[in-house]
Structure 1
Amino acid sequence: MRIKAAVIGAGSWGTTVANLLVQNVPTILWAREAGLAEQISTTHRNERYLPGFSLDARLAATADLEEAVCSADLLVMGVPSHGFRDTLEAVSPCIRAWVPVVSLAKGLEQGTNKRMTEIIQEVLPGHPYGVLTGPNLAKEILAGHAAASVLAMSDATIATRLQDVFATEPFRVYTNDDVIGCELGGALKNVMAIASGMADGLGTGDNTRAAVITRGLAELTRLGMAMGGKPMTFAGLAGMGDLLATCISPQSRNRHVGEQLGRGRRIEEIIEEMHMVAEGVKTAPVVMELAERYGVEMPIAEQVFNVVHRGRPAEEAYRGLLRRRRVREMHGLD
């Protein structure tokens, strides 16, 4: 029997994943705004988040949460981290028992510092849970370019079954049993992408960018391992792959924020003009709290936090990194 999928959240990535799913199984997309849901269903476009792209004509959308969820055999949560818990709680009366829940969010919850799959376990205990993550830029996937992602689930059998549900010919999906590592890689890289963008905004060269990305990977790996992730996960698609795409792509929202900060703009005006969420802005203070809790050095993340949340100039932050004490390259990793 073919399963039915529901994707909650009609932003750029939620819409893109729904467009992938509908090629394999009947899929409904929930949009918060009725007008957007109607536009997707009738014109097969999402002009607010994906202007100029056509969607699969089989994809239906609704603004009725119960309609989207009540008959779903798979629930995909495509809402940002700051609205994840509230949306999941609204879903909870509608969802049937044992339906798998897959998170697309790449962030951590402010206040609790929890991963999205931890929230799933709290709000929907007993449901299989997981995360789909990797170097996945929505517009490139909608354009039909090849891409790869990782699906990490609490149940390996369900992961294997869902692998075929998410995959299409140009969109390759791998499975991974490291839910913690995959989820942390997606959340922590956003902070490093802001740092990479700051380097570009300051006019530094490719050497600097390469150093920021590589040392950023070392930082997120140290914290990820301390929190229970497996080291090899951070060398794969959920770690290095996602980090590279987010740090270098002009489509990256977090890199854009960093670039504008490097050019001397204030964080408030940058965020105000953006239509979509840059998760790294909200994740930075959470990362610093986690780094302190686990005793992990994260100098790049610390400087991003100082620039974004304490108003420190980006140029001053980079000078601070250059003055750090000298250590072994694999410090804290071996």
Structure 2
Amino acid sequence: MKNLSHFLKVTIVFTLCVILMGAYTRLSDAGLGCPDWPGCYGMIKVPSQDHELALALDSFPEHKVEQEKAWLEMIHRYIAGTLGLLVLMILFICLKNRETPKKLPTFIALLILFQAALGMWTVTMKLMPVVVMSHLIGGFTLISLLLLLYLRTKPLRIPGGDHSARKLAPLATAALSVLMLQIILGGWTSSNYAALACTSLPICEGDWYNKLRFIQAFTPFQGTHDSYEFGVLDYASRMTIHVTHRFGALVTAAVLLWLAYKLHTQSQSSQLKRSAQLLFLLVCLQVGLGISNVVLHLPLGIAVSHNAGAVFLLMNLVFINYCLWRKA
């Protein structure tokens, strides 16, 4: 179990790298840096030599090789491929060891295979928003399940008499559910290029409430297009997505802060108190990053950090739920 625990730590770090590299690639508009999959212009690396560029132009005449964007996409694929091998190794270790879980690592392995398929469809379907969002959510789900598997290898317990904290388990689950919905909404905002649909605070500029178009904004399939890069929705639909994400952020922050307060004041566990303090700090940081994205017009570093903040919030809530629901 000790070796599995160390292996899982490495895999979780790799998963975080894949998620952040994916966010960086998407926010750099490099999602179609390579028009094919799994290679790049039919090669295992980005074409750079004259004869490689000529071959790429001949094979994909409708595309211009942008090496910087192509390398971002290929580095993301290299890291993701390594992650896939790590996950399969975890499955092998778990199946070989009698004391380790079997169902959870099997499901994680199936999920990583589905993630690979989503990565392919992201390219072949030209950044269709529902596929891009599903790929993003798959990454968040993967890191959550890997963390859960890691926690199952550790002897974590909160005091058996900490009844006040255990009564907060339903609230913790509700907080986790609200956060997951907000992450999905954030993925929809990003995949539809709606992050800058509103550039004023606290809500949106102008007569925004009379322009809301919820049906058009949240229709999963948006017709057939040659490419979905830079979005295909009109302004009103993108603005609706953005405003909904902002209101969702307010609700999510309120629920998470309430959970942090209740845990800190009612729990006897030092682990849970530290998690509550971390939850409070992460929520404040995430709200600050969200505001900064609007005020500073989505700078790349802050936008990627906003994705990282969502990952750490999710992992913290998975840990809290695990402690509260696990029997003493």
TM over 0.5: no
State the structure with bigger RCO (CA 8 A, min sep 6), 1 or 2: 2
Going by fraction, where is helix more abundant, 1 or 2? Answer: 2
Larger radius of gyration, structure 1 or 2? 2
Which structure shows the higher strand fraction?
1
